[in-house]
Chains A and B, each alone.
Chain A
Amino acid sequence: MKTPTMGRRVRGTTALSVAVMASLVACSSSKPAASGTTSSSPAAPSSQATSSAPTSSPATSNSSAAQSSAPAATGGTYTISDPYPQYTAGSSWVNLLNSCGASAGVKIKRTGYDTTALLSQTLLSAQQGNSPDVLIVDNPVVSTLADAGVLASNDQDNIDTSAVSPNLLAAGVLNGKTYGIPVGANTLALYYNKTILSAAGIDPTTITSWTALTAALAKVKAMGKGGITLSAIGTEEGSFQFLPWFWGSGANLTNLASTQGVAALQLWTTWLKDGYVPNAAIQDTQTTSWAEFATGKYAFAENGTWQLSNADKAGFPYGIIPIPSMAGGVAPAPTGGEFVTIPLQKDASRYPTTEKIVSCLTSADNAFNTDTTLGYIGVTAAVQQKQAANPQLPVWISAVGAAKGRTSDNLGTNYPKISQQLWTAMQNALTGSKSPSAAMSAAQSAAAAATGGK
């Protein structure tokens, strides 16, 4: 008489416990990790957000809501989201935002997110109809957000982009419409260690083609020094680093398996096999590959504008050259940097004030301040001329001039799908799982399938 009761109770508990357990898994199965990356590069994930709970509250850990310290504002509060969590209240960036708010007569509430977290956060807030008034977002994401109907196009608001270099504006163009304005640009170039190069008798100005660079790497290797550090990690960051070589071969993202594309991958694969590139490159982010270069054991590093201040601290003399293309000349590197965009609002009366804030950040006079604050190269000729006074910057200005948006060539939202296949091919070839040509063929057919044959 006692047993059946027992049995029933056990079964009841069973069902409940299993349900709870399953939910536990659901809630934590996709818990992302926090990894320290700078937001100026196409960063690795590091965020809150779970796949199963899109209703989770916004991450506030990185936020540093700054109340305007400016004199009494009357026009209410305007919200700004940006991918610069490293700038906290009191930093020059936040002060700049506050002063722009004050000149538009409103208070600014600003939140900084990690690059990847910002995308999830933007999608969630758009879903709930409370997008920020101003969104500063990584340039390859602009076309995705525009396609999702999150952003207002520049026809709707009146942002003046006439002075912006077309190659930098291209990332914000989708189906003939432009969304937002680039706040500043950065890109990749080759840093070199002057001590090692002069010991090896290499004149950096002669490195203008792949052949010359490979010969220089061989010379350096023979001296017992490391060749070049780069990031070939299996994320967007890896594609970002590979693109100058891919484009520099003359290849196009619409055909990964072209002979030029394969040649670019072959170049990296051979470098790795010959020991010119450290094996760790396969897992290195741009931050860790920079750390390797900073040890002073490597002759070259492929890295971005944002490492300039670290380069000064490295403790050895360094120089910068543009990335060479296969045949000779400067290879187009991908543009980095963010766009200032205006998300769609239910209340259209907010736009005029928002436009004032945006033009305050990007207008001719202020853009120089903004770019200096953020460590970017200006997007207009006027700002670039002003920046050229700094002897470190001309090489970057010309690199930015040759740079190309990842989503341009009207790739738009197809770019992420192609990029994923590109970094997969890169990893397959570098680890020796596939030959460069087999890896690129597989990537091309997968990319074609993902983009519907385009």
Chain B
Amino acid sequence: MSDRARAKAHQSRPDGGGAAATAPPPSAQGGTRKPAASQLAAWAFLAPVTIYLLVFYAYPLYRSLDLSLRNYTVRSFVHGHAPFSGFKNYRIDLHDPTFTPALLHTLIFTVVSIAFQFVIGLALAVFFVQHFKLSATLRALFLVPWLLPLIVSASTWSWMLNSDSGVVNSALHSVGITSVNWLTAPKWALVSVIIANIWIGIPFNLVLMYSGLQAISPDIYEAAALDGANGWQRFWRVTFPLLRPVTAVTLLLGLVYTLKVFDIIWIMTRGGPAGASTTFATWSYQLSFGNLLPAFGPGAAVANMLIVMTLIFGFVYFRIQRKQLES
């Protein structure tokens, strides 16, 4: 319906241009052929992106939903005719002893990672915006975690945190602290992957917050300084409020990226030991591909629950954004 309405709107102003919305339509005659052509052109322009969205976004989503609602065995995956089983796969997941720990780990992993990434990223951004000597070089160095392939950084972390031959433990040892089984003790595994993930996420936050800081006019700081605001007050009263839109974008994107983090955890701990660092992302993979006998249905169900979680946070974000627009 909205498409038709939009098409109508096009007809009424063949010149396009949103600014002309209130302008009276040009001469009525001769308008019968031209709008048709422009409508066709509009569809032609729309077609690539529509097809792209359908093929690469809508269809996989549909398939994922379909997988999660049917009772797929390896046989029915190959030959089709998997019986519709409603929400049985979701019930299987909910009653799985892995569910509660996985949910908890996903939330802890996401919240703790983002909190540290954001605070450290912001602090570094504020630091680098001062433009001291070498600041550009140092800033570039901070981007390294972002540039490295995840397989490289995750493998390096797991090597550094190795219980017996890791560099971290030997450093601890040299200052007289007993070594920690970073990746092989259930109470440390999640901490370890979070630390690695924070390290990987800092540059992303740094870059976004840095660009946000650059957008704040120096005049405002000057005015605040003239009014007698000290450094701390300038940060809390000027920088922070003006950064709010960038902050919202950064946090939301961070949330989406962090909820679905898979590579780091899988490479470092395989979700283990004994499920101690299993999140929804690794659990979904474990179910679908981590076993000799794939459980596609329950795996897809976990993936879809992850999508729903992201969706919820997405709506929260847009609500906040709209409120900001209105105020």
Contact = CB atoms under 8 A, between A and B. Distances in A.
The reply to whether chain A is a binding partner of chain B is: yes
Interface of A: 6-7, 10, 12, 14, 17-35, 44-45, 47, 49-55, 116, 119-120, 123, 126-127, 140-141, 144-145, 147-150, 233-236, 278-283, 292, 295, 413, 415-417, 419-420, 424, 427-428, 430-431, 433
A278 B303 contact: no
A58 B25 CA distance: 53
Contacts of B288: 30, 51
A454 to B, nearest CB: 14
A22 B273 contact: no
Interface residues of B, number: 72
A29 B281 contact: yes
Interface string B297-312: 0011001101100110
13 contacts: A21-B311, A30-B262, A31-B263, A52-B60, A127-B77, A144-B292, A236-B291, A283-B158, A417-B293, A419-B292, A427-B273, A427-B275, A431-B273
A147 to B, nearest CB: 6
B184 A279 contact: yes
A148 B165 contact: no
Interface stretch (B134-142, B213-221, B314-322): B314-322
Given A33-B263, A233-B270, A431 B292 contact: no
A47 B262 CA distance: 13
Contacts of B163: 278-280
A252 B146 CA distance: 49
A443 B172 CA distance: 36
Given A29-B260, A282-B272, A54 B63 contact: yes
B75 interface: yes
A328 B263 CA distance: 43
Contacts of A23: 53, 56-58, 60-61
A233 B272 contact: yes
A280 B289 contact: no
A144 B67 contact: no
Nearest to B306: A29
B270 A29 contact: no
B290 interface: yes
B145 interface: no
A150 to B, nearest CB: 6
Contacts of A49: 289
B270 A33 contact: no
Contacts of A18: 311, 314-315, 318
